[in-house]
Amino acid sequence: MQYIRDLDEKAYEYLANIAPAPWTRSHFTPRALTDCLVNNLSESFNAMILKFRDKPILAMLEWIRVRLMTRLYTKREGIQKYAGKLCPSIQDRLEKLKVESKAFSATPAGSFLYKVGTQYERHVVDLVKKTCSCRSWDLNGIPCKHATTVIYTNIQTPEDYTHPCYFKETYMEIYKEVLPPMPGQSKWAKTGQPAPLAPHIYKPPSRPPKQRKRASDKPRNPYKASRLNRPVRCGKCKKEWHNSRGCKAGITGETP
């Protein structure tokens, strides 16, 4: 917190009034098995349905249902061809940790208790409790680089110490359910009730926006040039402070 206070006093005061568990990894619970602080899942879903968000409700829901049906099938068929024990992304992450673990040395303090470190840092690893003082292993269930050093010292493999939620069998169990297809509207059951009438909607001028409204404090794209405080330039006479629609050069006979 002192580091945050040195950077920004207002940010320190804002975070000081919030419980640490929702915003700092040091207070996350290990039950969730994640150290993620972002909302990428909702952002990805919003980006996926962007093309059909302005459609009628039935057309939008049908498109989402078909999209999920095909995605579940793709995921289910793709993992069946994979021969590893862990999911591919987790295996790649573990391979990087194996390389990083080469810089550490392990000193036994008990049967499964080790001191791991270099000349710059030191950590305590317990293979029975599957914990490390860096808390990375505790939070996400994947052996950290310190635990990987200890596991290889015991002539074992880090894959055996990874949480079962990252196993291929667990992945297949999640995607085993099939989202069944549905017949068209012509095959739907008749209720005998009058058809609902569409509400009267006032259509404002201009094209309806499709982009999601961003918060005022959210940073803009640094690679996109902003038109703020830039003068308008006419495409006909090349002069500033008016556009081609309001250009009077072609009306009055003036030359640019």
156: amino acid identity, one letter: Q
Cβ neighbors of 26 (< 8 A, separation 6 or more) are 20, 135
- What integer is the mean pLDDT of 173-190? 87
Element (H, E) at 114: strand 113-117
* Angle at alpha carbon of residue 97, lines to 91 and 100, rounded to 5°: 150
7: amino acid identity, one letter: L
Tell me, what DSSP letter sits at residue 40?
A: H
Structure tokens at 167: 């196993």
Structure tokens at 221: 């794209």
- What integer is the mean pLDDT of 198-206? 82
pTM: 0.67
**With bands split at pLDDT 50, 70 and 90, how would you rate the model's confidence at 225?**
low
DSSP E strands in 20-77: the ranges are none
148 or 210, which is more confident: 148
Q: List pLDDT tens digits, range 69-83.
A: 999 999 999 998 888
Q: List pLDDT tens digits, range 43-95.
A: 888 888 888 888 888 889 999 999 999 999 999 999 988 888 999 999 999 99
Calpha distance 149→156 (Å, rounded):
10
Q: How confident is the model at residue 95, as a pLDDT?
A: 94
Q: How confident is the model at residue 256, as a pLDDT?
A: 46
